[in-house]
Amino acid sequence: MKSRRLLLDAGNTRLKWAVVEHSTWLAQGSAVYSDLTALTQVIEQHDACYIASVVRTQHEEQITTLLASYSISPTWLTTESTFSDVSNAYLNSRQLGVDRWMGLIASRQRSHAATLVVSVGTAMTVDALSAEGEFLGGLIAPGIVLMQRALQQGTEKVAEVSGVCQTFPRTTADAVQSGIIAALCGAVQRQFEHLADVAGKPPRVILTGGDAETLLPFIDLQVELAPLLVLEGMERVTRESELK
């Protein structure tokens, strides 16, 4: 069994990584796909590498080529129907994104309370995990940048200008940003209420993803910020795998 594990969370916009030895985190970081220099500084030849990918084939090939130069043949993680005491209620378990699955596993590792797992990236996902460890289902919505692009491309007078979220916006840029934040927070609040009804009490809320900190100040709930949630889940899954 190799003691060093290189974990790669291949998201739509950025590649995030962690280097773990046994249960100790040695390094972590992220980069855009156009410049993975920072990743090359932590790779060692023949590392045991595991990848959770939701990215396009072009970037998967880029990662594979980079790893091959270090004599590394990675293991591509997939979504399963169960892991430990976490169960997947998706009608087709493999349709659930592997990043969402790893986030659910990490959330269960943190607590056995009912939990709403919110990931704010290129898309926003809002996933409900019961106190019994069952993934009940979740929402997918465009993230902040995708919503901005949709408005810019679908309307004539929405320019590429950054706005500020306000209660009563008085410029178009502010109105766009405020509308996006309100829509995303509304989705979180709606699912929070649904899960609270099922659980019989307010669930925990875990917030992760590249735009998590942008949304955080506007969510009127007690929230736990977990920027490395997917990597935490990967660490748990790969540790169990290497022990078998």
Q: Is the pTM above the cut of 0.85?
A: yes
The pLDDT of residue 53 is 97
Burial of 28 (0-12, 13-18, 19+ CB in 10 A): middle
Biggest CA pair distance of the chain: 60
Given the residues 99, 174, 211, 220, the one annotated as active site: 99
Residue 100 annotated in ligand binding: yes
172 has binding-site annotation: yes
The DSSP line for 20-60 is EETTEEEEEEEEETT--HHHHTT--TT-EEEEEE-S-HHHH
Q: How far apart are CA 210 and CA 196, in angstroms?
A: 26
| Residue 98 labelled as part of a binding site | yes
If we measure between CA atoms, which residue out of 176, 178, 175 comes closest to residue 165? 178
122 is in an annotated binding site: yes
- pLDDT for residue 46: 87
The b-or-e profile of 115-131 (16+ CB within 10 A means b, else e) is bbbbbbbbbbbbbbbbb
**pLDDT attached to residue 244:** 62
163 annotated ligand-binding residue: no
**DSSP alpha helix (H) spans, the chain:** 37-40, 57-68, 98-110, 144-154, 172-199, 212-215, 229-243
Residues of the chain with pLDDT under 70: 1-2, 157, 243-244
- At 161 the pLDDT is 72
| 220 given a catalytic annotation | no
pLDDT of 201 reads 97
pLDDT tens digits, 21-69: 988 999 999 999 999 999 999 999 989 999 999 999 999 999 999 999 9
Residue-level pLDDT at 1 = 53
The verdict on whether residue 99 carries a ligand-binding annotation is: yes
Would the annotation count 90 as a binding residue? yes
Flag whether 209 is marked binding.
Answer: no
Q: Hey, what domains does the chain have and what are their CATH numbers?
A: 4-76 (3.30.420.40), 82-230 (3.30.420.40)
